[in-house]
Structure 1
Amino acid sequence: MTVLETGSLSAARISNSPCVHDVDLAVPKGQVIALLGPNGAGKTTLLETLAGLLPRESGTVSMNGQALPSGNPRAAVRNGLVLVPDDRALFRKLTTEQNMRLAITTRGRKAATEELEVVLGYFPALRKRLSVAAGQLSGGEQQMLALARALLQKPSILLIDELSMGLAPVIVEAILPVLRQVAAEQGTSVILVEQHVHLALEIADRAVVLVKGRILLDEDAATLAADLGRLEAAYMGG
């Protein structure tokens, strides 16, 4: 089952100056995709366009066969597409628990509590930090909180931009397997932009390499991990 599909998608940060060109992408249910590429390849622009934060220059985006309007983040979220941006977008003065509960305000108390427990099972380190302001959490804890809040929105597909930004590799190694677990247990699809390429490939099903705004490679992650020379060549535009 295909959850997200794009057709000839072009996108830009400045109107009429596309930096993402003719992207055709199909994301099956429960699949983890590592979106890789050098700096300036257009990875963040692509994610923000999928999330409706940027209007499309051309092309289509659909969720579960339903066409999404261009530049409409509310419609994207309603259809199950949730973005975790590289700055995490936390409410720094609110506590960890308050940040999470903002994602489940429409649920009844019992349902909200049950959902909170499920997410804390993925990120048990947050359980002891529920009363701590988000701004006082460590970088790793803040990233866990951003992911936890996103999961509480029950996404069909989770877009994660630069998960490891400012984090030590050991923290990244602890968080990435959780995404693999969520995909397997919840059926949530994941598109992950990650600078630690080898770590991303370890948990991904598929790798998509974007260079100069175009998809240069789209193949099995394990196959690409076994042939890093091709990946290096792709980063160089070859």
Structure 2
Amino acid sequence: MTALRCRGLSAGYVRQRPCVRDVDLDVEAGQIACLLGPNGAGKTTLLMSLAGMVPRFAGEVTVDGKVLPADRPRDSVRAGLVLVPDDRALFRQLPTVANLRLAVKARGDRAAAIEEVLGYFPSLRKRLGVEAGRLSGGEQQMLAIGRAIVQRPKVLLIDELSMGLAPVIVDEILDVLRRLADERGMAVVLVEQHVQLALSIADRAGILVHGSIAIDDSAQALRADPARIERAYLSV
């Protein structure tokens, strides 16, 4: 079942110069897809436009077949699409537990939802009373993803997951994302600079060049052909 689909998506900040051009993308339920490409290729803009946070100039985005209106992030969240941005967008002066509580849709579900997050990220249990701004980078990323999890997304978008994090923390988070995809049927889309790291966890991969998808293939196929990736990166 296709969880996320976009067709002919063009988006950006100036209509005459879109950063993302005519992008087609399909991500199945339970699938992890990674978006790769050189700096400035349009990866972050693509995620932001999918989430309704950057203007779309053309094309259509659907979640479980439901069309998402452009430029309306709340409607995207209600439809089941949640973005973890590269700055994590935490309430830095609020404690960890408050960040989680604020994201739970139904007040009566808060305790169970928080316990669910702690099941995925047990190291946060001792940090529930600590202000988010005082957490380590790894803990902040766990909290940002945990805050997304309690919203029960059908599609989870994560921008620059590994940025500034120790490899052991990245491995822990990637294991959680694999579990979320496998156990809950969540579709996950990662933007990641570390190519081999992304391909190690992903099922599919797209390489963006100049705002368009130059390569769309299985992660396994791209892992086996690094020269193909290199040619795409060097084509800029």
* TM-score scaled by length of structure 2: 0.97
Residue identity matched to 1:140 = G
2:158 corresponds to: 160
Deviations 1:147-177 (A, max 9, x none): 0000110000000000112212332122112
Q: Can you give the 5+ residue segments of structure 2 that lack an aligned partner in the other structure?
A: none
Deviations 1:43-82 (A, max 9, x none): 0000000000012011111111111111110110010000
In 2: Cα distance, 1:117 partner to 1:85 partner:
23
Answer yes or no: is the 8 Å Cα contact 1:13–1:45 preserved in 2. no
Counterparts of residues 1-238 of structure 1 (less than 5 Å)? 1-108=1-108, 111-237=109-235
Answer yes or no: is the 8 Å Cα contact 1:9–1:22 preserved in 2. yes
In 1: Cα distance, 2:36 partner to 2:185 partner:
22
Answer yes or no: is the 8 Å Cα contact 2:105–2:151 preserved in 1. no
Q: Provide the aligned length of Structure 1 versus Structure 2.
A: 236
* TM-score scaled by length of structure 1: 0.96
| Structure 1 moving runs of 4+ over 4 Å | none
Helix, strand or coil: the match of 1:34?
strand
Answer yes or no: is the 8 Å Cα contact 2:32–2:187 preserved in 1. yes
Moved more, 77-86 or 222-231: 222-231
Q: Can you give the 5+ residue segments of structure 1 that lack an aligned partner in the other structure?
A: none
In 2: Cα distance, 1:92 partner to 1:224 partner:
38
Helix, strand or coil: the match of 2:107?
coil
Helix, strand or coil: the match of 1:180?
helix
In 2: Cα distance, 1:209 partner to 1:43 partner:
9
Helix, strand or coil: the match of 1:237?
coil
Identity, in percent, stands at 61
Deviations 1:21-61 (A, max 9, x none): 11011111111001100000000000000000012011111
Instruction: Quote the offset at 1:15 in angstroms.
Output: 3.4
How big is the alpha-carbon RMSD for the aligned residues of Structure 1 and Structure 2? 1.2
Answer yes or no: is the 8 Å Cα contact 1:173–1:199 preserved in 2. no
Residue identity matched to 2:187 = S
Q: Cα gap change, 1:105/1:69 in structure 2, threshold over 3 Å: closer, same or farther?
A: closer
Instruction: Quote the offset at 1:105 in angstroms.
Output: 4.9
Answer yes or no: is the 8 Å Cα contact 2:86–2:161 preserved in 1. yes
